[in-house]
Structure 1
Amino acid sequence: MSEKNILAYFKSPEEAESAAKKLQVLRVADMSIDRFSRYPGTGMYGAVKPFAGDMVSLSAATYGTSLSGESSAILAAADPSSSGMSEGGQGGPTGRDILLTVVVEEESFDKAMRIVEDAGDMV
């Protein structure tokens, strides 16, 4: 049997989880729900207190928090909005930042697509 995959974007984890529960009745080979952001890594952590000597990077000063990875902090510091001379213009992923990834058997693909489309996703 061959398999097909679906990448569906949702506005909230609850929407994705609801669709995932409905998909479990089909022949699902693999399924995951993930959140993605503008910068790679595991996300932001902790509040930064620059007056207490807690500022570790430019991104910490401009975003008010530290990013968990060095690469993420470098990318954030290089962003045009970090300099204060621009608001950036591009923005980050807004709205649909939850990704439901599903691998199904080929004969279940059409049903799976209907389920995720009915759940309000963007495929």
Structure 2
Amino acid sequence: MEEKNILAYFKSPEQAEKALEQLKPLKLIDSSINRFDGYPGDGSDRILNPITSDFPGLGYLTLGGDFPDRDAAILAATSVDASGMSAGAEKDETAGRDILLTVVIEEDDFAKAMAIIEKAGALV
């Protein structure tokens, strides 16, 4: 049998888990749910007080990034996301979709799987 892959983007882990649960009766070969980000590392989750703590820069605090070099940290700090001065685009369908459901499924169940995933609110 042939296999098909699906990459579906959700706004919350719960949405992705619900969709995956509905896919279980199908011929599911493999699946995973991951959060992704444009910046490396865990960053600000370790800072208690930015006034008294030692931190490498704005991108570390606001983007949660551990940057491999100073240049990357400076470039990340230029993002509107780092400053908090942008509310984002109102009609941007991709905004907030940082949960990735990856599914490998048998080809004959592909259409059913796509219907379930799209109904669950994914961007495919």
Short-chain TM bin: 0.7 to 0.9
Alignment check: 8 A CA contact 2:43 2:60 kept? no
Label 1:70 to 1:112 Cα distance change in 2 as closer, same or farther (>3 A): same
Structure 2 residues without counterparts, runs of 5 or longer: none
Aligned-partner SS, 1:71: coil
Label 1:66 to 1:8 Cα distance change in 2 as closer, same or farther (>3 A): closer
Q: Distance in 2 between matches of 1:13 and 1:73?
A: 32
TM-score w.r.t. structure 1 length? Answer: 0.74
Report deviation, 1:97: 1.0
Aligned-partner SS, 2:8: strand
Q: Percent identity between the aligned chains?
A: 43
Query: More strand by proportion, 1 or 2?
Result: 1
Structure 1 residues without counterparts, runs of 5 or longer: none
Q: After superposition, give the CA deviation of every residue in 1:15-39 in whole Å (9 maximum; x if it has no partner).
A: 1110000001111111011111121
In angstroms, what is the RMSD of aligned CA positions? Answer: 3.4
User: What's 2:36 paired with?
Assistant: 36
TM-score w.r.t. structure 2 length? Answer: 0.74
Label 1:34 to 1:115 Cα distance change in 2 as closer, same or farther (>3 A): same
> Would you say 1:75 and 2:64 are equivalent positions?
no
Name the count of aligned residue pairs.
118
- Runs (4+) off by over 6 Å: 88-91
